[in-house]
Amino acid sequence: MGLGVHHSALDEWSIPTLHRDMVTAYRARTYGSAPTWSESPTQYADYAVWQRRLLGTVDDETSLLAEQLRYWTAALDEVPAVSGIPSDRIRPTDPTWSGRWREAVVPDVVVSMLREVARQQGVSMFMLTQAAVALAVSASGGGDDVVLGSPVGGRTDEALTDLVGYFVNTLPLRYDLTGNPTPADLLARVRATVLAGFENQETPFEEMVRAVGVERSGSASPLFQTMVTYREDGGPPDEFAPGIGFGSMDRISLNTLKSEAELYITVAADEITVVGGYSDELFSDSTVRRFTDTLMRAFEILATDVNTALAQVDLLTDRDRSRLHTCSRGTRVPEILSGTGTLDSLLATQAASTPDSVAIVFGDTTLTYAEFDARVNGLTRLLLARGVRVGDRVAVVLPRGEWLPIALSAIVRSGAAYVPVDPSYPMERIDHLLSDSTPTAVITGRLSVGDELAGRLDHVPGRPEQIDLDDQTALREIAAMSDHPVTDHERCCPMTPPT
C-alpha cells in the first residue's frame, strides 16, 4: 500500500495523526466493520479563519501582524542581497532549479559531544545545527552576515496538534558572525536569534518579504539562498499495524530544488545526517564537496573547542589543507615582495621571473604568466585608446573566468581604479554602483551577463565606453596591441607621484 499526498496539503507534523487514523481504519476493516473516529473539534478551515483574526491587518498598528512586522523589518534591515555559499557560475535569469544531492553523516562520537555542548551552553540541537551551518557558509566565503531559511511547524496552539494540514511557515534567521566571536559566543547569538524568530513566527513569509522591501527576482529566492530543514528522528514505528511491518525505506531524489542550497538535517540518538541539495547551475562538484567537508568540520569545532575565537580556529578540511600545502611549494621568487613596488610592478616582476609558470586555470583554460602579462598589456592599451586615464574609474561587469583577473590587472596597469560589479547582484544595486561610480569605461561580456543586464549597460549615465570581451572584434583589437611593457608616456603621466 502506498499513499501519495501533495506537500501543500500535508506537512511533516501531520504524519503521526494520519498514520494513527490509517491504522484505526485498517484494523476496523480487518474485522469487517467501518472505522469510527471522534470528530476533531477543529478543522483546517477554522485555523484559516483563526489565523486571520489573530494576525489582524498591516494597517492596524496595534495588530499582532504589525507588531511582528516591526520586528522582522528591524531584524532584516539592510539584509545582504545574496546570502549563501558563493556560486561558481552566474545566476541564470530563468533557472531550472535542478540540483544534485550529497549525504554526509556526523560520527556518533561527535554527536555525543555536541549534545553535551548543547546542554552546557543552554541551546537546543536545532540551534546548534543552525550555528554549524552559519559557520560553514561564512567559512566558505559567505561573509559574516548569514541568513538561513528555516521551516517551522506553525502549530502555535494546542488545538492544532492533531490536525492534518499544511501549517508550515519559513523564517529568515539572520546570524551575526562579526567581531571574531568564539563558538560559545556564536551559540549565544544563535539562541537569541532563534528565540526572537520563534516569538514572531506567525507572520507569513510573504508578508516579511513585502515589508522588508527586497527586490524579487526569478533567479534567486528572496532574503535567503540556503534553506535548512531540521527534524528529530525517534525511529520509525516497528509496524504499520499488528502483523504488518513497514519494510525498507528508500530516499527518492527528484533532482529539483526550492532554493540554491537545501540542507535536510536529521538528528537521531547517536547520529546526525545531512542531506544537501545544490543547484547544478551554480555550484561545481568541488564546491559542493568542499562545503560538505567544511560543514562536517564546523560540527567538530562546536563539539570540541567552544572558547577559541573563530579567527584562530582551523576550519580547513584535510583535503583543503593538502591542496594548500601542495600549492605553497612553488619556487620562491627572491625579494618579490620587498621594497615599495606597486601591485602592477609585482605582477610584471612575477611574469618576467617565471614566464612559463601557470598563472591562471579556469575550466579547460590555462594561461602562463607570459600569456597573462601579454593579455594584460593588450587590454591596457585598448583601455588607454578608449580614453581611460590615470585616476579614472573603470567598471568590471564580468562573471568569474580567465578574463576577470586580466581585466582587473589591466585597469591597475592603466593607472585607473576598478569598480567590480557582480552580474548576479540585483539590478537596482548594479544601477546604483554604475551611476554612483561614473566610470570612464565598462569591461563586460554582453553574452555572458545576459540580455537584461547588457541592455542596462547601454544606459549608464555618461555613456561610458564599453569593451565587450564576448565580441571577437574587441578580442582581435587586444591581440593586435603590443605586448611590450606599458610606459608612463603611453599613460600620459606616471601612476605614482615622484618622491
| pLDDT confidence tier of residue 247, bands split at 50, 70 and 90 | low
User: Given a cut of 90, is residue 155 above it in pLDDT?
Assistant: no
Q: Is the pLDDT of residue 74 over 90?
A: yes
Confidence category of residue 39, pLDDT binned at 50, 70, 90: confident
229, β-bridge pairs: 264
**pLDDT greater than 70 at residue 251:** no
Q: Has residue 255 got a pLDDT over 90?
A: no
Asked if residue 469 lies in contact with residue 475, where contact means CB atoms within 8 angstroms, the answer is yes
Give the integer Cα–Cα distance in Å for 77 and 173. 12
Nearest to 181 by CA among 144, 149, 146, 148: 144
d(CA 225, CA 134) in angstroms, rounded, equals 12
Least confident of 233-247, 417-431, 438-452: 233-247
Distance separating alpha carbons of residues 354 and 372, to the nearest angstrom: 12
Residues 6+ apart with CB under 8 A from 430: 397, 421, 423, 453, 456
Least confident of 63-67, 271-275, 343-347, 418-422: 343-347
Specify the pLDDT at position 265: 96
- Average pLDDT in the 394-406 region? 94
Checking if the pLDDT of 405 tops 80, the result is yes
User: For 455-484, how does the pLDDT look when each residue is reduced to its tens digit (9 = 90+)?
Assistant: 999 999 989 999 999 999 999 999 999 989
Q: What is the pLDDT of residue 297?
A: 94
Position 252 scores a pLDDT of 61
Return the pLDDT at 65.
94
Q: pLDDT value at position 189? A: 98
Cα distances from 214 to residues 58, 159, 484, in angstroms, run: 18, 35, 48
Give residue-wise pLDDT tens across range 96-125. Answer: 888 989 999 999 999 999 999 999 999 999
What sign does the dihedral 253-171-220-142 (CA atoms) show?
negative
Cβ(433)–Cβ(457) under 8 Å? Answer: no
Range from 86-95, 151-160, 264-273 carrying the lowest mean pLDDT = 151-160
- Percent of the chain exceeding pLDDT 90 equals 57
Q: What is the mean pLDDT of residues 78-99?
A: 87
What is d(CA 335, CA 395) in angstroms, rounded to the nearest whole number? 32
Mean pLDDT on 150-160: 81
pLDDT digits (tens, 9 = 90+) for 331-386: 554 554 555 568 888 888 899 999 999 999 988 889 999 999 999 999 999 999 99
| Cα separation, 453 vs 250, whole angstroms | 44
Pairing of strands 393-397, 365-368: unpaired
Identify the pLDDT of residue 475: 94
Q: How far apart are CA 90 and CA 423, in angstroms?
A: 7
Task: Supply the Cα-derived Rg of the chain in whole angstroms.
Answer: 28
Summarised one tens digit per residue, pLDDT across range 256-290 is: 788 899 999 999 988 999 999 999 999 999 999 99
* Residue 396 CB-density burial (10 A; 0-12 exposed, 13-18 middle, 19+ buried): buried
* Percentages of the chain per state (helix, strand, coil), in multiples of 5: 45, 15, 40
| Predicted confidence band of residue 298 (pLDDT cuts 50, 70, 90) | very high
Mean pLDDT for the chain? 87
pLDDT at 300: 95
Q: Is residue 408 scored above 90 in pLDDT?
A: yes
Return all residues near 397 (Cβ < 8 A) that are at least 6 apart: 421, 423, 430, 442, 443, 444, 449, 453, 457
Q: Look up residue 64 and give its DSSP letter.
A: H
Q: What percent of the chain has pLDDT over 70?
A: 92
Secondary structure of residue 403 in the 3-state scheme: helix
